[in-house]
């Protein structure tokens, strides 16, 4: 008897609609972005997906923002900081993704797989270049968040984003320098592979 009651209970629960809500705002998509202890390519691609969705979505109502918004000036700065941070994370994730296909060095014994390595390096290069696009976008939003009217105004609930803005302003945070260095090294590795022939190995 208990078994039949249990089966009926499961069947009844199965026909009830599951409760869910629609994800449609930047803040909701951003909360799906997360860093794993060890990031595999699938994890990075998933993060890029959520961050790109966050960048394209609308902002939620200010009362549901990720920081306390007191007036229109707070709201304006919050939006600039949010977009700056999203683009910074996208630049960072593309840098991580590029590392998946990047071969740091070309050894003489790699010649038999030269063409495959060159294809992988092309993929890594495209990831790095995409990261530069997001970095430029992040700098643009940081400049807006650095306008004179915001100079002595800080959103302490998102202090980490304020710190990122300040580091971009002072030049302490510079993904262009990092990515350009990686692109130059990658080109050097490509040149080494292109110079290889059957006599190299």
Region for residue 33 given its phi and psi (left: phi exceeds 0; alpha: psi -120 to 50; beta: otherwise): beta
Q: What's the pLDDT score for residue 9?
A: 56
Predicted confidence at residue 18, as pLDDT, reads 53
Q: Which two tokens stand for residue 10?
A: 């499961």
> Residue holding tokens 């993929």?
123
Which DSSP letter does residue 17 get? Answer: P
pLDDT at 196: 86
pTM score of the predicted model: 0.86
Whether 117 and 110 have beta carbons less than 8 Å apart is answered as yes
Q: Burial of 7 by CB count in 10 Å (0-12 exposed, 13-18 middle, 19+ buried)?
A: exposed
Q: What is the predicted pLDDT for the residue at 8?
A: 56
Indicate the SS3 state at residue 141.
helix
Give the Cα separation of 189 and 197 in Å (integer).
15
pLDDT at 5: 58
pLDDT in the model for residue 3: 63
Spell out the per-residue pLDDT of the chain, length 201, in tens: 556 655 655 555 555 555 566 888 999 999 999 888 888 889 999 999 999 999 999 999 999 999 999 999 999 999 999 999 999 999 999 999 999 999 999 998 988 999 999 999 999 999 999 999 999 999 999 999 999 999 889 999 999 999 999 999 999 999 999 999 999 999 999 999 999 887 776
- For residues 35, 41, 44, 50, the Cα torsion angle rounded to the nearest 10 degrees is -120
For residue 36, the model assigns a pLDDT of 80
């Amino acid at each position: 008897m208990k078994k039949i009651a249990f089966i009926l209970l499961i069947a009844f629960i199965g026909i009830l609609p599951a409760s869910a809500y629609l994800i449609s705002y930047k803040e909701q998509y951003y909360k799906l972005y997360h860093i794993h202890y060890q990031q595999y390519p699938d994890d990075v691609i998933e993060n890029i997906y959520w961050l790109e969705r966050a960048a394209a979505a609308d902002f939620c109502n200010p009362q549901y923002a990720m920081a306390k918004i007191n007036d229109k000036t707070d709201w304006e700065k919050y939006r600039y900081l949010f977009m700056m941070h999203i683009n910074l994370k996208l630049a960072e994730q593309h840098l991580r993704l590029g590392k998946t296909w990047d071969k740091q060095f070309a050894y003489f014994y790699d010649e038999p797989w030269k063409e495959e390595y060159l294809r992988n390096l092309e993929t890594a290069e495209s990831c790095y270049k995409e990261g530069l696009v997001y970095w430029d976008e992040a700098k643009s939003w940081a400049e807006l968040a650095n306008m004179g009217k915001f100079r002595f105004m800080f959103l302490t609930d998102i202090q980490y984003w304020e710190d990122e803005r300040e580091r971009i302003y002072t030049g302490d945070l510079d993904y262009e320098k990092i990515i350009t260095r990686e692109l130059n090294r990658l080109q050097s590795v490509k040149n080494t592979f292109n110079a290889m022939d059957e006599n190299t190995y």
